Every structure is written in structure tokens, then in C-alpha cells.
Amino acid sequence: MEAGGAKKVHNRWMRPRQPAKKPHLPNSPFRAAPVPDIPDFAVNDRVTHDRHGLGSVVRVTGDRIHVKFGENTVSVAMSSSKIHPL
């Protein structure tokens, strides 16, 4: 307890607040941010990942793909900007 009975707040347990996504008005003179195209992935497709390197798609489930990178299998979101089809 601090002076005056106030509790001390530890910043390591609090995460910074993420800014809200601003809506795009249809009559705005500014262009909306482009929506990235999500490529279709199929089993045995070759892909590259910015962190893991070259890999092969093992399984496609919903909005995620499971990719084998050498000895490791990693689940990656299809909408991730870090994975690219070859």
C-alpha cells in the first residue's frame, strides 16, 4: 500500500491498449486500405515463411494451414502476411 491507501499498480501485468480500427466512410476523399488477397492453399503446396523458411502444406483446416518446415510442423493463419505460396 502506498501513502493515502492507494494500491500500487504493476505495469508488467498490464498490456498497452491497442488503438481502435477507424471506420472508412464511403464518401471519404481518402482511399480505404487495400484488403490483401488470401491465396488458396492445398495439401502438398510448397510455401515460404518469413521466419521458418521453405515448407510444405500438410493439412488445411478452416482458416489455418499446417506446414512442415524440416522436422517441425507449424500451424499458420491463412491470412498471415508472413506466408507466401511458391
Tell which wins on pLDDT, 9 or 62: 62
Residues composing the chain: 86
- Where are the strands (E) in 1-86, listed by range? 46-49, 53-61, 64-69, 72-77, 83-85
Angle at 69 between CA 63 and CA 72, to 5 degrees: 90
Tell which wins on pLDDT, 20 or 50: 50
- The CATH number for 30's domain is 2.30.30
**What's the pLDDT score for residue 12?**
59
- Count the domains in the chain: 1
Residue 9's domain spans which residues? Answer: 3-85
pLDDT tops 80 at residue 52: yes
Contact 56, 68 (CB under 8 A): yes
Structure confidence by residue, pLDDT tens digits, 56-82: 999 999 889 999 999 999 999 988 889
Structure confidence by residue, pLDDT tens digits, 17-43: 667 777 777 787 777 777 778 888 999
**What's the pLDDT score for residue 69?**
94
